[in-house]
Structure 1
Amino acid sequence: MKLNREKMTKGATRLFQIVPIVLLVAVIILCSSLVGRVSVADILNFAPSSYPLAALALVGIYAVKSMSVFFPLLVLYVSAGTLFSPWWAILVNLVGLFVCVSIPYWLGRLSGRGLTEKLFKKYKKAEEIKRFNLENQWFICYILRVINLLPGDIVSLLLGSMGIGYKNYLLGSLAGLLPTMLAATFLGSTILTPTSPGFLCSAAATVVISVLSILLYRRMQKKWKNHETSSK
């Protein structure tokens, strides 16, 4: 009798870990079929004329985006900047990012280490995360948002499945995403006047942040290789 109970407990635990993965796959398939490639124009056409409803709609799109790698966050940043005044756009984008990074994190957290191994096998670049100091959780979450090692939604799933603390994860993720979000939001707020200094500065800032991210990633790769060579 005791043995049967242990088997039932193990089976329930296993089912509890598998269900989020199955739901995740189903949601990704659904999002890919319904969303496809979304542009700023698509979102502007979809957004209600009421500002509160438009804000709710945009946050809803952030939720959908959290389970889809088929369009970049940049589209949502610029859309918010176009729809709202700059400060309201920043607030809406912050709420959207909170939703966007939280949903896949908790799905990954529920799935556990089994999902971690699956993601390491599927995404070869994910192996580079093992080179980080895992004790500095905030920095891992921050730097993975800055260097664009993997799609953001995959990063969220992976960090959640690795058991990274939610507070460190959330603060690190938002800090890493904030510079690009601010630049793209102001870009959206001046998009109707492409020759204005505000638009040109925002566009330049967006490009500079992207270039710096690439250079930082390459520098870290070089540092890792030098460290591995010296340790042999």
Structure 2
Amino acid sequence: MTKEKIKRFSVTFLKLIPIMALLGFIIFILTRRDKITVDYILSYMPDNLFLAIGSIFCLYAIKSVSVFFPLIVIKIAVGAMYPPLIAILINSIGICISFLIPYFIGRRSKGEHTQKLAEKHPKVAKILYPNEDKQFFICFLLRSIYFLPSDIVSMFLGARKIPMHKYLAGGLFGMMPSIITTTLMGSSIKDISSPMFWVCGILTILFSAISYVIYFIYSKKKSTKRGSEKE
């Protein structure tokens, strides 16, 4: 084997290391998906600060293309690991990471794929299509309605070529109430009798309920408007 071939092989091998590591991490998560809790995540976090934060971001990346464990578990675990302000910052960056992967998948998809998504997820399409000119607002609204599947929302917005800065800013703003409350739940999880834990838990449930109300009112308003236009 010539030196040139050895060099090319070495470069290729080095490029594959991160991919193989990520695949191994994904397999590890998927084989333990029924056991993933806050304590489980905390028990596997490295002591090194940068490695721990990197692991958290990997979890967010995996979550963006997986339904095997709830996002709230990651946010609470981060809240339990770090001071509130730092934890909110880490969770905010993690949320942005989870937004980006399906967004880029959507941007690369063809029109037929978008049409199939619209047929399979009419609730998302019902909000998105009439408001594409209000890009920041629609990103905010879709993230405020928590029961809509995050990965599908991201792919839709990517497929419709929403500018990334509006996509991230609107989406993060819409998710911020949930990020703050679940992070603070994590910071007080060691004492579940504390007022902060219960207040944040109630607020998390309340925000979810409000998101249903927002969707109901918005859908009813759009239906009434379409009915008036037909008349």
TM-score, normalization by structure 1: 0.81
The equivalent of 1:164 in structure 2 is: 162
- Quote the offset at 1:149 in angstroms: 5.4
Structure 1 unaligned spans of 5+: 1-26
Cα distance in 2 for residues equivalent to 1:168 and 1:42? 35
The equivalent of 1:190 in structure 2 is: 188
The equivalent of 1:98 in structure 2 is: 96
Whichever residue aligns with residue 135 of structure 2, its letter is: Q
Whichever residue aligns with residue 112 of structure 2, its letter is: G
The equivalent of 2:126 in structure 1 is: 128
- Quote the offset at 1:132 in angstroms: 3.1
The equivalent of 1:36 in structure 2 is: 33
1:110–1:131: structure 2 CA closer, same or farther, 3 Å change rule?
closer
Cα distance in 1 for residues equivalent to 2:188 and 2:218? 35
The equivalent of 2:70 in structure 1 is: 72
- After superposition, where does 1:7-86 map in structure 2 within 5 Å? 33-34=30-31, 36-37=33-34, 38-86=36-84
Q: 1:123-157 CA distances to partner (integer Å, 9 max, x unpaired)?
A: 23233135532101011111001113520011101
Percent identity over paired residues: 36
Cα distance in 1 for residues equivalent to 2:134 and 2:178? 23
Give the 3-state SS of the residue equivalent to 2:152 in structure 1: helix
The equivalent of 2:153 in structure 1 is: 155
CA contact (8 A) 2:64 2:98 kept: yes
CA contact (8 A) 1:113 1:162 kept: no
- Quote the offset at 1:67 in angstroms: 0.8
Give the 3-state SS of the residue equivalent to 2:131 in structure 1: coil
Q: Which moved more, 1:192-201 or 1:169-178?
A: 192-201
Structure 2 unaligned spans of 5+: 1-22
Moved segments of 4+, more than 4 Å = 30-35
What is the RMSD of the two structures over their aligned residues, measured on CA atoms?
Answer: 2.0
Cα distance in 2 for residues equivalent to 1:40 and 1:33? 16
Match status 1:205 vs 2:203? yes
Cα distance in 1 for residues equivalent to 2:102 and 2:124? 16
Cα distance in 1 for residues equivalent to 2:171 and 2:189? 27
Whichever residue aligns with residue 158 of structure 1, its letter is: F
- Quote the offset at 1:48 in angstroms: 1.5
CA contact (8 A) 1:125 1:149 kept: no
1:35–1:114: structure 2 CA closer, same or farther, 3 Å change rule?
farther
